[in-house]
Amino acid sequence: MTAQTPLPPVPPLLELQGVHTHIGQYHILHGVDLQVPRGQVTVLLGRNGAGKTTTLRTVMGLWRASAGQVMLQGQRIDGWPTPHIAASGVAYVPESMGIFSDLTVEENMVLAARGARTAGQLSRDRLEWIYSLFPALKTFWLHPAGKLSGGQKQMLSMARAMIEPRELLLIDEPSKGLAPSIIQNLVAALRELKAQGATVLLVEQNFMMARAVGDAVAVMDNGRIVHRGSMAALADDESLQQQLLGLSLGAHQ
């Protein structure tokens, strides 16, 4: 029997190679090496101030890498302007949510869709899918976004990133300050996105949510990646959780 030639490894959708980022006089990222596999949810964990948000903003071009490379689908993007990165299929959901409070839910969604100028031009199938995940958005479709509750605003922020298919979603702490029932909605949305083939880089402090959606995990400390592996392995190793994060899964049941 002739031995089969092994298939070459699938390159990551996103890769950071030795990335340094300075913000003013502050050196935040210190040589970050990170791979985000295609079609998976990679969770970025770490204590406050570890550099997680800076990593997302550097990928999105909102802060410039001062050294190293950011590669998307094998192409270097660290010198690109943010609109060019967004047009390449990258969506960013910031911790601040990034919605327009004075505009209606409908107007927020239209602005987020590159291929639509009116609500009638939005994909009806995709909109119905979003409504199934976040029913409140349908209820408050014509209401000002600023009048929504905190959880509803987070739903809108997520929905804006989901209104069109994206290659990569960068999501920063979506569960922060939300009730458990809303967090379950977000978990369902992330699982649906993954089922559709989307790739997600997620910053999340809620370890239970991270475990529920994550395939791979990277842990940051002082602007560096200090651990890489599967989420399942980290979730099963309380001593490693204590070492890396100062928590145990048992305390978060």
The residue ranking higher by pLDDT, 232 or 98, is 232
pLDDT, tens digit, for every residue of 111-146? 998 878 898 999 999 999 999 989 999 999 999 999
CA nearest neighbour of 75 among 89, 54, 57 = 89
Q: What is the rounded distance in angstroms from the CA atom of residue 24 to the CA atom of residue 26? A: 5
Q: What is the pLDDT of residue 179?
A: 85
Distance, C-alpha 253 to centroid of its chain = 24
- Work out whether strand 224-230 and strand 216-221 pair parallel, antiparallel, or are unpaired: antiparallel
pLDDT, tens digit, for every residue of 37-56? 999 999 999 988 999 999 99
pLDDT, tens digit, for every residue of 91-111? 999 988 789 999 999 999 999
Residue type for position 226: V
The band of 253, judged by pLDDT with boundaries at 50, 70 and 90, is very low
* b (16+ CB within 10 A) / e for 47-63: eeebbbbbbbbbbbbeb
